[in-house]
A and B are shown apart, each in its own frame.
Chain A
């Protein structure tokens, strides 16, 4: 099946620093990528929808200036957590779709962010 690579797998950073997470579709062109946040033992909360070459669409309550998303190519989307604080500590996971209707999602392996 299709592969989505997410990097890094985990990151520990100091409060106030910015962290960039990359999501790559390795063997298909991802017209659309999605970024989720997952707290322990909870469901996936959609943060934003990223479309190649256009601005991301953020879900209600998600700060776009806090979580910067760039989808510069059909195989790469990045999420930058700016000026991270301890409350931003979470498991961030991306998924990709080729854009067809009723298309299943392929998930990256996730990034565990810990902000000290």
Chain B
């Protein structure tokens, strides 16, 4: 079936190091969204990418959407302890008639050692 794969599953970094999580879809996506879930919390929307090859930045976070609209990445520069949490990518399959039906990746859990 349609899947969104996300790697790595876990990542432990030292505070100040960079972090990247990757998301790959088996089919073309209309858009891709990224969410962050803090331990014990609920997912919170970070950003949405729509255009092929799109790059967006939010302070230390850089989001990319691949040219083929099948992959995406989130890169955090100089991680801080506040970056701890699980980052999910979620995409809407191109041509899907079910508005808002996102397919979630498995998530990458980031741990930051101070």
Contacts and interface: CB of A to CB of B under 8 A. Distances in A.
Interface of A: 1, 31-32, 34, 41-44, 46, 49, 57, 93, 95, 97, 99-110
Given A46-B102, A57-B98, A95-B43, 19 more contacts: A32-B99, A34-B100, A42-B106, A42-B107, A43-B105, A43-B106, A43-B107, A46-B101, A46-B103, A49-B101, A93-B43, A101-B99, A102-B30, A102-B31, A102-B92, A105-B45, A108-B42, A109-B41, A110-B42
B98 to A, nearest CB: 6
Given A104-B45, A107-B42, A44 B98 contact: no
Interface in B80-114: 88, 92, 98-107, 109
Contacts of A104: 33, 45, 48
A44 B87 CA distance: 12
Contact of A99 (B35, B92, B100, B105): B100
B44 interface: yes
A109 B100 contact: no
Contacts of B105: 43
A106 B43 CA distance: 8
A97 B100 contact: yes
Nearest to B47: A104
Interface string B37-78: 000011111001010000000000000000000000000000
A104 B99 CA distance: 10
A103 B100 CA distance: 6
Nearest to A4: B42
Contact of A49 (B30, B41, B48, B98): B98
A66 B83 CA distance: 38
A44 B106 CA distance: 8
Contacts of B106: 42-43
B92 A109 contact: no
A108 B98 CA distance: 20
A44 B45 contact: no
Contacts of A46: 101-104
A94 to B, nearest CB: 9
